[in-house]
Amino acid sequence: MKYVNDCADFAQRLTPNCVNLIAPYFIKEARFDDYFVRQLEKMNIDIIAYQDGVGVNHTALEDSARFYEILYKAHEKASRARLWADMELFYFEDGDGGNLLPADFNKRIIRQMENISPFVDKILCYQYIGIMNKPGTDIIAGHPDSLRLYEQYSAWYNQYKNKK
């Protein structure tokens, strides 16, 4: 807590109008209890974008909504930092290790968004270079499925955008 607040204070001194965002890991440890709420109240952070842990198999897809609901309740009670999600767009090739590969948008990522969106203000997409690549790009970094992920996401986004 001290480290996070010291970093936030330093950032404010360097850039007075900055927004402080952190992305903690391991949402399974979140609790809706007085201790956790007091920790949130003491943090000088504007936004907390919790990593969902689905891509690295620390959180089961079907449990993510329950964990974000707990975080939502704690943030509401603390009346502190906005709650965002840092959603993983990848999976480990070997279950909990090996190469990171692009997840399938239609089979998994859309379900991640549906699970957590009722509880967060925004969803960030957590990826590494090579997880999503635009087709036709001169240089492709990563796995060939990165092109498919980009196409799936683009199709969803364009459909969503046209509904507005």
Spatial CB neighbours of 19, under 8 Å, sequence gap ≥ 6: 46, 47
Query: What CATH class has 19-163?
Result: alpha beta
**pLDDT tens digits, 40-68:** 999 999 999 999 999 999 999 999 999 99
- Collapsing DSSP to helix, strand or coil, 154 comes out as helix
Confidence grade of residue 35 (pLDDT, cut at 50, 70, 90): very high
Residue 7 has pLDDT above 80, yes or no: yes
| Contact in structure between 103 and 93 (CB atoms under 8 Å) | no
Pairing of the two strands 90-92 and 100-102: antiparallel
**Domain limits of the chain?**
19-163
